[in-house]
Amino acid sequence: MSDLNRRDVLKLGAVGAAGAVAGLGFPAVIRAQAKEVVMLGIWPFTGAFSDVGPILDRGMKMALEERGMKILGRPIKYITRDSATQAGASTRRVEEAVDGEGAKFVIGPWSSGVALAVSEVAKRKKVLHYFSGGTEDISGARCHRYSFQWAASPYTAAKTVVDTFMKANPRAKRWHLLVADYAFGWSVEKYIKEVGKTHGLEFVGADRHPLGEREFSNYVTKAAGNKPDVVAMINFGLDAVTAAREIFNFGLTPKLPLIMSWSSGVEELVQLAPEIRENLWVGSNFYYTTDTPVAKEFVKSYQAKFGGPPGYAPAAAYGMTRMLLHGFDRAKSVEVQDVVKGLEGIEVNDLVGRMRVDAQTHQTLRPFFFMRSKPKSAMKNPMDFADIIATGDTPLPAQYAACKDIGSF
């Protein structure tokens, strides 16, 4: 009888006969836990981000298949659940996967609000949770021992974007910001303004739009009225794509440069016609021309499999899974708490270059990319959107760190 099994029976005994009967419903599951390592991908297959769910799933699967679906000699059982980009549904489904399927390692989802809910489950159920990015809180105000963040800190992103852009356009001092109105948008906005000070930037306007806004004409005319040298957007997905279209329709781009500060890269760029992409500058956590051995290998096999280059989403799922597996290797154990310790302070050369996990905050310290999109004439193929012009990895300065104490298990 395994450790888990015993604990389960004890627990059940304590809560009475009805519970014991309930436990008998799952003997097969409990037995399976002893052999397999169950990993859950909680991805948005329906709802607001239904377009990204399937490609996230691909990325995670690829990373697991590379290892032959095995870790430390044990078979990995990969299961997925639909996050539906709803906190309630995700919470319920993650709990179900943990209780019913014995999942101990959770990766995902895609939206920050839902991720925070999943992070709560991870804390409560004591399972490891790796999330890509889009909130400052996972490795900040709501940090705890079980959750990790893969994407760069918003400070890293803001610094890379502003520094590089100013180097290329030293005279573009008048900035207009268009910010998605939620916590993460505000953090990036805060840091862009902070970094902007060192360049003597003037922020002639900063408008916030609700998430899911589809009518950007008013924002765009307002931005045009401010006569900026550059428009910088801090929004994501369909909001960013719709806004970029409208900024082009109103004739701001390509005359003015447009910055997408925190973009998913390929997934967003592919939705924009080449004309709209002219004079577009893009910050992202991944771009497929990233010059590392791991990335090259990944892009090659991804392209062979799916016929197009991977964007941020599959790369994040792939990268997170790889980091998690590195954690197993370092811990030489498949127990959750050992893997957490294995990840804390780990340092590897992986998907995007040198990657470390800060033990104090569980933030992955890593490079962030800044790209300049290519004009139509310079594109070598329909997916040849942009060149990486810079990478930056300045970590969040200590005075901004909101994770004071990561706590215990």
**Where in 248-277 is the site for other proteins (CB under 8 A)?**
249-252, 267, 270-273, 275-276
Nearest 5 degrees, angle CA 276-CA 278-CA 279? 125
In the complex, least distance from residue 44 CB atom to other proteins, rounded to whole angstroms: 10
Residues of span 168-197 touching other proteins by CB under 8 A: 181-183
375 binds other proteins (CB under 8 A): no
Ordered strands of the 230-234 beta sheet: 202-209, 174-180, 230-234, 258-263, 280-284, 368-373, 386-392
Q: Kindly tell me which of 207 and 338 has the beta carbon lying closer to other proteins.
A: 207
- Given the rule CB under 8 A, which of 77-85, 326-334, 353-361, 387-395 is the region that contacts other proteins? 77-85
In the complex, least distance from residue 214 CB atom to other proteins, rounded to whole angstroms: 5
18 binds other proteins (CB under 8 A): yes
Candidates 267, 381, 328, 313; CA nearest to 111 is 313
Q: Kindly tell me which of 277 and 330 has the beta carbon lying closer to other proteins.
A: 277
User: With b meaning 16 or more CB within 10 Å and e meaning fewer, what string describes 371-396?
Assistant: bbbbeeeeeeeeeebbebebbbbbbb
Q: Locate tokens 């021309």: which residue? A: 289
How many positions of this chain bind other proteins (CB under 8 A)? 74
84 binds other proteins (CB under 8 A): yes
Distance CA 335, CA 229 (A): 54
- Given the rule CB under 8 A, which of 95-103, 162-170, 288-296, 382-390 is the region that contacts other proteins? 95-103
Distance CA 368, CA 262 (A): 10
Residues of span 269-328 touching other proteins by CB under 8 A: 270-273, 275-276
In the complex, least distance from residue 215 CB atom to other proteins, rounded to whole angstroms: 7
In the complex, least distance from residue 97 CB atom to other proteins, rounded to whole angstroms: 9
- What is the DSSP-derived secondary structure letter of residue 363? B
- Count of CB atoms within 10 A of residue 125's CB? 18
What x-and-dash track marks residues 221-250 binding other proteins by CB under 8 A? xx-xx------------x--xx--xx--xx
Q: Kindly tell me which of 45 and 302 has the beta carbon lying closer to other proteins.
A: 45
- Given the rule CB under 8 A, which of 34-42, 208-216, 296-304, 388-396 is the region that contacts other proteins? 208-216
- Count of CB atoms within 10 A of residue 183's CB? 16
Among 211, 359, 383, 402, binds other proteins (CB under 8 A): 211
In the complex, least distance from residue 29 CB atom to other proteins, rounded to whole angstroms: 11
Distance CA 156, CA 220 (A): 27
Candidates 249, 160, 169; CA nearest to 201 is 169
In the complex, least distance from residue 298 CB atom to other proteins, rounded to whole angstroms: 20
Task: Report, in this order, helix, strand and coil percent for the chain, each rounded to 5.
Answer: 45, 20, 35
Query: Would you state the structure tokens that stand for residue 191, as one six-digit string?
Result: 């840091």
- Given the rule CB under 8 A, which of 1-9, 118-126, 293-301, 380-388 is the region that contacts other proteins? 118-126
Among 41, 42, 45, 240, binds other proteins (CB under 8 A): 45
Q: Locate tokens 């697991």: which residue? A: 64
- Given the rule CB under 8 A, which of 15-23, 289-297, 339-347, 381-389 is the region that contacts other proteins? 15-23
